[in-house]
Structure 1
Amino acid sequence: MNTPDPDKLAKLQAALEAYEAGETSDLFDHAGEEARAPIRKRALGLLDQRARSRAELRERLVNAEFDPELVDDVLESFERNGLIDDSAFAHEWVRQRAARRGKSSRALDLELRDKGVAPHVRAEALSQLSQSDEESIALAVAEKKARGVREAPQDRAEYDKVLRRIVGALARRGFGASMSLTIGRRALDARIAELE
């Protein structure tokens, strides 16, 4: 069994006494910890609402007029302790937004970029969506929009008008023009067949 070093014990005891007295020591920075406490509290409150990227959290804290240097210290501590993790955040963001919001990988990439997620982390997170996943998501969006059609179009002009609405819904979610048009037609034609 190792015997504790008396010099280290004495230094630790002196540091604890200094901390309790509110003084700064080599081991504890009482004033620094007090300055970081409100930043930690705000950051934890923001993380309690929803997961956030490091850059997004930093921006919110700096905008709340906290010292940027202290904010960086707190965020580094959060990263070391696993409270913020851009990779996990990006993976979950892609999974949820693709499933619940019907977003394309292009739209998700832009959202993650706006949240300050690094390009290699975004690419890794987006790799979980395959081409067939994207097509399935686009088809679900198109079918939902096509269900709004109550009667079959009477002529080509009316058909094109309805198709533009469906393609527009896909485009707003970031799907490419070619895919949007192909899948939009498929969904509209299937809906027309149901109505006839």
Structure 2
Amino acid sequence: MTSNTPDPEKIAQLRESLAQYASGEGGGFFDREAEEAKAQVRKRALGLLDQRARSREELRGRLIDAEFDPGVVDEVLDDLQRSRLIDDATFAHEWVRQRHARRGKSARVLDRELREKGVDAALRADALEQIDQSDEEATARTFAEKKARAVKTAPVDRDDYNRQLRRVVGVLARRGFDGGMSMRLAREALDARIAELD
């Protein structure tokens, strides 16, 4: 038998597997029931990814909540990861870039959000390197100045000043900016606004 001659035994196995597949038994190399279960999970996963990018753990949680079998979910997620449709490093990088630029979130808040989405510490740290201290301070300053512009009259006394200052600091605190930096920038923004009003 030459190397180009088909192996009768392999041909027989192939025929048997195809016959089992056609009869719905699954057989040899293809398990129809398992593939149908994966197809349902894959469809739901791709629908969720079509809405927005997600971390592997976040996607897993949504699929388990939809009452899919955890083993099948993990198989599908492995497939999606191999095909790079889910990639926690890329997800974390984009999450930080967009939410810092568009929403003014601090690195501390972004780190917490990524941790809640199941992104591991090394990937979070790498993604957060996009934000340096000067970026963080510039973003905080913008929010402080915006809130200070809402002050329409100069404070009448120290209590009034402190109340206005707490409002500006509160805006920064809710975005997770460092306390000392927040106080300094809030004071600068409020003092500048008061100077404009005098």
TM-score by length of 1: 0.90
Residue number in structure 2 paired with 1:183: 185
- Residue by residue, what CA displacement relative to the aligned partner does 1:5-57 show, whole Å, maximum 9, x if unpaired? 83498466765554444332443221111011111111111111111100001
Residue identity (%): 60
Letter in 1 for 2:108: R
SS of the equivalent of 1:6 reads coil
CA RMSD in angstroms, aligned pairs only: 2.1
Structure with bigger gyration radius: 2
Which one of the candidate residues 84, 104, 129 is aligned to 2:131? 129
Q: How many residues align?
A: 194
Tell me: CA distance 1:149–1:30, structure 2 relative to 1, closer, same or farther (3 Å). same
In the TM superposition, what is the alpha-carbon distance from 1:155 to its structure 2 partner? 2.2
In the TM superposition, what is the alpha-carbon distance from 1:172 to its structure 2 partner? 1.0
In the TM superposition, what is the alpha-carbon distance from 1:152 to its structure 2 partner? 2.1
In the TM superposition, what is the alpha-carbon distance from 1:167 to its structure 2 partner? 0.6
Q: Distance in 1 between the 2:33 and 2:140 partners?
A: 54
- Residue by residue, what CA displacement relative to the aligned partner does 1:83-120 show, whole Å, maximum 9, x if unpaired? 11111110111111111111111111011000110010
Unaligned residue ranges in structure 2 (runs of 5+): none
Residue number in structure 1 paired with 2:116: 114
Q: Distance in 2 between the 1:150 and 1:5 partners?
A: 91
Q: Distance in 2 between the 1:104 and 1:84 partners?
A: 25
Residue number in structure 1 paired with 2:37: 35
- Residue by residue, what CA displacement relative to the aligned partner does 1:101-159 show, whole Å, maximum 9, x if unpaired? 11111111011000110010100000110011110111111122112112222222211
Which one of the candidate residues 76, 89, 96 is aligned to 2:98? 96
Residue number in structure 1 paired with 2:107: 105
Q: Distance in 1 between the 2:170 and 2:73 partners?
A: 42
The answer to whether structure 1 residue 24 and structure 2 residue 50 are counterparts is: no
